[in-house]
Amino acid sequence: MISAQDALERLREGNRRFAAGVTNLDPLIMRTRRNELIGGQAPFATILGCSDSRVPVEMVFDQNMGDLFVIRVAGNIVASSQVGSVEFAAERFNSRLVVVLGHSRCSAVTATLEELQRPTNSQSRNLRSIVDRIRPSVEEFLAPELKHEPEELMRHAVRANVRASVNHLRHGSEILEQLIHNHGLLVVGAEYSLETGGVDFFDGAPG
């Protein structure tokens, strides 16, 4: 089993490669790995990321197939099925690190802010369920002083939304709580920058 700290270091190194435009992967390595994985998997980290096409998780961390257990949903929100997926990876595969990965210019966060500023009833019930998950964590940033600074507003809102998901995973499941307290499970928040390609771990990640 790979400890949370070692897993985090692997992700940091992989992202440094990605941001620098280099990779450890080549088609031959991938083919070998594909064959090795037929019999089973042992992903060393679980990533809850946004569905955004600009944030492909394995690429961003320069990891191969079999390395990461990835859950992607617009706005990296946490509902029951996401909690269940994280529990599954932690229990079944002993994945000890969970990363909630938000990103700059997240369209789901933008849509939520727009909805708060100019409410419409045009969203489907299903889409609304995503906006409603994001809403509580970004509402406070609509204070008058930030309203006119859209970039600042987005920056705060993206991070608050990541923190809310981290918090939900840390406290919304008895199984995960028990793994955190007794078995070294670590849940951290991170933000990917579309601008630099870098990932900043900012919530609960040891230096």
Q: Is 62 in the site for Zn ion (CB under 5 A)?
A: no
Is the Cβ of residue 50 or residue 89 nearer to Zn ion in the bound state? 50
Near Zn ion by CB under 5 A, which window of 30-38, 50-58, 82-90, 184-192?
A: 50-58
Is the Cβ of residue 78 or residue 186 nearer to Zn ion in the bound state? 78
**With contact defined as beta carbons under 8 Å apart, do 130 and 110 qualify?**
no
Near Zn ion by CB under 5 A, which window of 31-39, 48-56, 182-190, 193-201?
A: 48-56
**With contact defined as beta carbons under 8 Å apart, do 152 and 61 qualify?**
no
Q: Which residues contact 191 (CB under 8 A, 6 or more apart)?
A: 101, 102, 103, 104, 158, 159, 162, 199, 200, 202
Is the Cβ of residue 53 or residue 182 nearer to Zn ion in the bound state? 53
For residue 89, what are its two tokens?
Answer: 């990876």
Near Zn ion by CB under 5 A, which window of 23-31, 44-52, 89-97, 116-124?
A: 44-52
Is the Cβ of residue 96 or residue 103 nearer to Zn ion in the bound state? 103
- One of 50, 89, 154, 190 touching Zn ion (CB under 5 A): 50
Pairwise CA distance, residues 45 & 32, whole Å: 21
Is the Cβ of residue 90 or residue 108 nearer to Zn ion in the bound state? 108
**With contact defined as beta carbons under 8 Å apart, do 139 and 161 qualify?**
no
Beta-strand relationship, 186-192 and 199-203: antiparallel
- One of 106, 157, 176, 199 touching Zn ion (CB under 5 A): 106
**With contact defined as beta carbons under 8 Å apart, do 14 and 61 qualify?**
yes
Site string for Zn ion, 22-41 (x = CB under 5 A): --------------------
Q: Is 60 in the site for Zn ion (CB under 5 A)?
A: no
Quote the strand ranges of 3-156, DSSP E: 45-49, 68-72, 97-103
User: What is the size of the binding site for Zn ion (CB under 5 A)?
Assistant: 4
Is the Cβ of residue 7 or residue 70 nearer to Zn ion in the bound state? 70
